Chain A
Amino acid sequence: MDQLLNDFSPGLFLMQAVILIILILLMKKFAWKPILNSLDEREQGIQGALEAAEKARLEMKNLQADNEKALQEARVERDAMLKDARDIRTKMIAEAEEDAKAQASKIITQAQEAIAAEKRAAVAELKSQVAALSLEIAEKVVKDELSDKKKQMQYVEKMLQDATLN
């Protein structure tokens, strides 16, 4: 202990203290601060990058799920649309058929009516012409018949005979 105390040099102690303080301050300014700051920055950068990657992965997953969902929805929608279209088509065809049928029957009716009218007109015409022709023939016949007395008598006779038969 005595030896230790004898060896203890206050001067060396002072020098060591002064140099150590200066060294700590210099090292802090020129070495430890930039080094530790850069290490922190780098570690935070790595941490940030890892977190961002994880986030991107999750987003990607969400996006895929969204895509899948959208696809599913689109498929359902397409099916619905197709069904609608099919229904509309069927309905339109049915309607058209109905319309056509109605139209056709109407036309037929009209045609029948027209034919009937024409027929009536034609019959009337025919009747009048037949009447005229008959009159003419009758006139000629009568004229001819009545030109001969004998024949007139015969005709009357015949007529009378017929009349009695009746």
Chain B
Amino acid sequence: MKISSLRIHFLAVISFLLIGSFASAQEHDVAEHHGGGAVDTQEEITEYTNHHLKDAHDFHLFSYTDAAGERQHVGFSLPVIVWSSNGLVSFMSSEFHHDTDGEVIVEANGSRFVNLHEHIYELEEGAEAVVMDEEHHPINAHKVFDISITKSVFGIILVGLLLLFWFGSLGRQYKKKNIPTGFGRALEPLVIYVRDEIARPNIGEFKYKKYMSFLLTVFFFIWVSNLLGMTPFGFNITGQIAVTVCLALFTFVIVQFSGNKDYWKHIFWMPDVPVIMKIILIPIELLGILTKPFSLLIRLFANITAGHVVVMGLIALTITLREQFGAVGSTGLSLVLTLFISLIEILVAFLQAFIFTMLSALFIGMAVAEHDHHHEHDAEGHEIDDVEDVRESFV
């Protein structure tokens, strides 16, 4: 009873947030850009796709041109919070009026800001408009430290709330019963899966418990974020390089702080090799420390970005192939291909969460492993690779 009422309450808050914001955000566009907003040419498609891949300062669902010929945007604005030369400044993103070309200047707290391709710039003293150099970099404005609640931050918070709500209610269920019911019954095997297939075999039976909170949170965060990217809301959380850098950095820090004596010995004084090799191996191993998290962050970022680009490109087929196949043909082809790729993307959403968590667990496992350097020898005196070696050479 308590859970169900809580759920209703939660849903009410979410829907209120969405509906209320839609209502307040139905405003007309002042800056008429992109020739009325229609996306027709190859360049416009590319720009639209790139725009989607980037983080945004407002939550934009779709736009249309109304009967009066004015461009209407449906969505809601999000707070912009920046650290400017005059300290912390905050205003709603609606003050930019959906302009991302640096034309609308917002004055707040004595500073003037423009939104240039979803980066907030602060104009220098005395500057009236953004002046660009030939490489399209502004010369009279500088970037500010931008901790706005952007679309991605909004998505991150949403994913966090969803996770808290789902797994919190699953956690509460155990107080009353042994076997969870409802949605919790679907979540429980996933938790067991992460524990038994990812954490336990990679980190080891005796040490895995310490890292479960991190691995579980990261796994479900990435998975739900990836899936949220599949929805028409157009989130692209795990396709933001800053987000994947952050996730990989967490793994990196945890690995370095978990590393035992053996781990550091393998980096700075590799056992069982000649002294010259030991010295040669130091920079290689040091580089290895960095490449591991780097591969994590690039893999996740690239996979999700590629997925979004492919889906958007396939949707754009309805425009690009209109001349060859006609409106119905190109739309049908686009629909079938997008459906097919979307199915693969749903798989990729899980796969990338799994791989990220799996490799994080693997790196942690390598850092905490108790190495035994008296390698076993078989009858002919050849070394038998133990599991650790096989694993290392695999990674």
How many A residues touch B, CB cutoff 8 Å? 31
Q: Are A20 and B250 in contact (CB under 8 A)?
A: yes
Known: A12-B55, A35-B171. A17 touches B246 (CB 8 A): yes
Which residues of chain A have C-beta atoms less than 8 A from B192's C-beta? Answer: 39
Chain A residues, CB < 8 A from B160 = 19, 22-23, 26
Residues of the A chain whose Cβ atoms lie less than 8 Å from the Cβ of B54: 7
B346 on interface, CB distance cutoff 8 Å: no
Task: Tell me how far the C-beta of A132 lies from the nearest C-beta in chain B, rounded to whole angstroms.
Answer: 128
Q: What interface size band does chain B fall in?
A: 35 or more
In the complex, A21→B242 CA distance in Å? 15
Instruction: Kindly report which residue of chain B lies nearest to residue A22, judged by CB atoms.
Output: B160
Bound together, the chains give a CA A34 to CA B153 distance in angstroms of: 28
Among B152-166, those with CB < 8 Å from A are: 152-153, 156-157, 160, 163-164
Q: Is the CB of B167 within 8 A of A32?
A: yes
A38 to B192, CA, bound (A): 11
How far does the alpha carbon of A16 sit from the alpha carbon of B82 in the complex, in Å? Answer: 16
How many A-B pairs with Cβ below 8 Å? 122
Among B217-266, those with CB < 8 Å from A are 217-218, 221, 240-243, 245-247, 249-250
Q: How far is the CA of A14 from the CA of B247 in the complex (A)?
A: 11
Inter-chain contacts of B240 with A (CB < 8 A): 7, 9, 12
In Å, the complex CA distance between A22 and B153 comes to: 14
Question: Is B195 a contact of A36 with CB atoms below 8 Å?
Answer: yes
Complex CA distance for A12 and B121, rounded to whole angstroms? 15
Interface: B168 (CB within 8 A)? yes
9 residue pairs A–B, Cβ–Cβ below 8 Å: A7-B54, A16-B243, A17-B250, A20-B217, A27-B164, A28-B217, A32-B167, A32-B171, A42-B178
Interface residues of A (CB under 8 A from B): 4, 7-17, 19-20, 22-24, 26-28, 30-39, 42
Q: A20-B156, A35-B171, A38-B178 are in contact. List 8 more A-B contacts (CB 8 A).
A: A12-B152, A13-B243, A16-B242, A30-B164, A32-B213, A36-B209, A36-B212, A42-B178
